[in-house]
């Protein structure tokens, strides 16, 4: 693509960018001033879709030419914000069907910020159109969707970066380099990951007519059609397994992906999980309020626990991971990390890096996660560097697939009551016909489930 004839005059801003260039320079973060503004489209103009787009606008010249959303109110509001944020001041073209957006615009980059049940089809269609893709996590709602997404990215030679931006979080990059890779933990043979945030929706809203500004049929797409009981945006849709994979699919995927990156782990040997709705039985939500999972490796168990009720064992780290080594322990979150050695020796503490002074526009952005903004900017730079260098980004689609699929397989183990052993070569669960039947869910007509052998 002509727009990726990069001029190597750096214009990065901020401490996070400087840290990334020194620690991850080889991963393509030495960007960027393209010959022409990159042509960008966004599918899903809600909270995080806009947040990702605005971080991209901050780090590289872009021309946001098209936006797509099934909610006309969200779409028009996003268009106004984009016209204010992008340098040209132009208002993007607006679409209600992403397929029309892809066919009518030659896009360099497509950002996907839709609910999970749309990620697979939109990613595959975008790479087929010739665009590189930044897709939010988790990448899929079933394992075969993920296999198809990887196959499409490879077949069409497109870069697909997954929004698991912990790999681009400055203090976590530093922890990996200076503590894990430096050997301060010694042999690591146990990992604990957790989320104790009360993020399971407890509502019981009544049914109501679908508003004129929302195309609910298109919003639902390939997923089962639930009776309409209010706008699904932000977190209501996450209350249902029809559209995602519960707290494990939403929150474990971040921590497990980070742990795998830090420890250079691939597919686990086996996955087992138990849980269910143990406490919050009054809500419509059908996702587990309590779940434990074990991702087993050789002489290493990675253990996940979530609970959407009660208190966190460690109030400072309610969503976090802990690496236990024979020489020390590292506990980390999106906000900070703490290293404690075994025996004598200095403890190490580091906090999240903010860039409020460098990017004052962050301070007026609605619902922005200020702690995540520097990480997302670096993630975008890594994505762009991979496009320029025709290389794999730090959160390549295959890595996103492994982390996502493992969380999905944990849910399958919880459902079947048995451990799961997934063979990524045969793409089968070994010795379990019932569980194999759950690797691909049935799509609602007329949508057709992608086939990894035919993308």
pLDDT, position 8: 36
User: For residue 11, is pLDDT > 50?
Assistant: no
Burial tier of 61 (Cβ tally within 10 Å: 0-12, 13-18, 19+):
middle
The CATH number of 168-200+227-355+402-436 is 3.30.360.10
Residues in the chain: 455
Which helix (H) or strand (E) element contains residue 109?
A: strand 109-112
| Whole-number average pLDDT of the chain | 93
Q: Give which of 454, 442, 440 is closest to 146, Cα–Cα.
A: 440
DSSP state letters, 376-432: HHHHHHHHHHHHHHT---TTBHHHHHHHHHHHHHHHHHHHHTS-B-EETTTTEETT-
Q: Give which of 42, 123, 128, 120 is closest to 85, Cα–Cα.
A: 42
Instruction: Give the mean model confidence (pLDDT) for residues 10-28.
Output: 44
Domain covering 2-166+370-397: architecture: 3-Layer(aba) Sandwich (3.40)
Instruction: Give the mean model confidence (pLDDT) for residues 24-41.
Output: 64
pLDDT, position 234: 82
User: For residue 26, is pLDDT > 50?
Assistant: no
| CATH topology match: 2-166+370-397 vs 168-200+227-355+402-436 | no
User: For residue 17, is pLDDT > 60?
Assistant: no
What share of the chain has pLDDT > 90, as a percent? 92
Tokens of 218: 């298109």
The model's pLDDT over 329-340, given as tens digits with 9 standing for 90+, comes to 999 999 999 999
Give the start-end residues of each E strand in 136-230: 160-162, 188-195
pLDDT, position 13: 43
pLDDT, position 32: 55
Tokens of 253: 């995927």
pLDDT-derived band at 306 (thresholds 50, 70, 90) equals very high
Of 8 and 149, more confident? 149
Indicate the domain borders of the chain.
2-166+370-397, 168-200+227-355+402-436
The model's pLDDT over 212-266, given as tens digits with 9 standing for 90+, comes to 999 999 999 999 999 999 999 988 999 999 999 999 999 999 999 999 999 999 9
Burial tier of 157 (Cβ tally within 10 Å: 0-12, 13-18, 19+):
exposed
Of 8 and 268, more confident? 268
The strand order across the sheet containing 319-325 reads 270-276, 290-297, 300-307, 188-195, 319-325, 328-332, 336-341, 348-351
User: For residue 14, is pLDDT > 50?
Assistant: no
Instruction: Give the mean model confidence (pLDDT) for residues 343-369.
Output: 94
Asked which of 9-23, 313-327, 361-375 is least confident by mean pLDDT, the reply is 9-23
pLDDT, position 33: 62
């Amino acid at each position: 693509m002509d727009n990726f004839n990069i001029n190597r005059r750096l214009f990065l801003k901020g401490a996070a960018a400087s840290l990334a260039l020194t620690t991850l320079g080889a991963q393509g973060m030495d960007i960027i001033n393209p010959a022409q503004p990159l042509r960008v489209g966004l599918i899903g103009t809600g909270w995080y879709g806009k947040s990702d787009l605005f971080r991209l606008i901050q780090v590289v010249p872009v021309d946001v030419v098209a936006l797509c959303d099934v909610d006309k109110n969200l779409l028009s509001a996003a268009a106004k914000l984009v016209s204010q944020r992008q340098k040209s001041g132009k208002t993007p073209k607006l679409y209600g069907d992403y397929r029309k957006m892809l066919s009518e615009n030659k896009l360099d980059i497509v950002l996907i910020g839709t609910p999970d049940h749309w990620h697979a089809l939109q990613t595959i269609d975008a790479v087929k159109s010739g665009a590189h893709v930044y897709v939010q996590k988790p990448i899929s709602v079933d394992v075969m969707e993920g296999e198809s997404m990887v196959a499409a990215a490879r077949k069409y030679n497109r870069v697909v970066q997954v929004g698991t931006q912990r790999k681009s979080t400055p203090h976590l990059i530093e922890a990996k380099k200076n503590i894990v890779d430096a050997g301060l933990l010694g042999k690591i043979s146990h990992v604990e990951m957790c989320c104790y945030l009360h993020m399971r929706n407890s509502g019981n809203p009544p049914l109501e007519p679908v508003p004129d500004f929302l195309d609910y049929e298109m919003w639902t797409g390939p997923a089962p059609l639930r009776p309409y009981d209010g706008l699904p945006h932000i977190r209501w849709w996450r209350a249902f397994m029809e559209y995602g994979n519960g707290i494990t699919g939403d929150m474990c995927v971040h921590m497990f992906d980070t742990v795998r990156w830090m420890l250079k782990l691939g597919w686990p040997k086996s996955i087992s999980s138990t849980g269910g709705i143990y406490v919050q039985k009054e809500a419509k939500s059908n996702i587990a309020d309590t779940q434990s999972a074990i991702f087993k490796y050789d002489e290493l168990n990675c253990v996940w626990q979530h609970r959407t009720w009660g208190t966190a064992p460690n109030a400072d780290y309610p969503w976090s991971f802990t690496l236990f080594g024979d020489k020390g322990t590292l506990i980390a979150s999106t906000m900070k990390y703490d290293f404690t050695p075994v025996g004598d020796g200095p403890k190490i503490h580091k906090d999240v890096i903010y860039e409020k002074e460098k990017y004052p526009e962050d301070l007026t952005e609605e619902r922005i996660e200020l702690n995540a903004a520097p990480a997302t900017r670096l993630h975008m730079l890594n994505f762009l560097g991979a496009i320029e260098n025709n290389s794999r980004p730090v959160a390549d689609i295959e890595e996103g697939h492994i982390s996502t699929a493992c969380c999905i397989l944990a849910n399958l183990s919880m459902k079947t009551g048995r451990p799961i052993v997934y063979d990524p070569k045969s793409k089968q669960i070994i010795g379990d016909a019932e569980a194999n039947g759950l690797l691909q869910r049935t799509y609602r007509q007329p949508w057709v489930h992608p086939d990894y052998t035919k993308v």
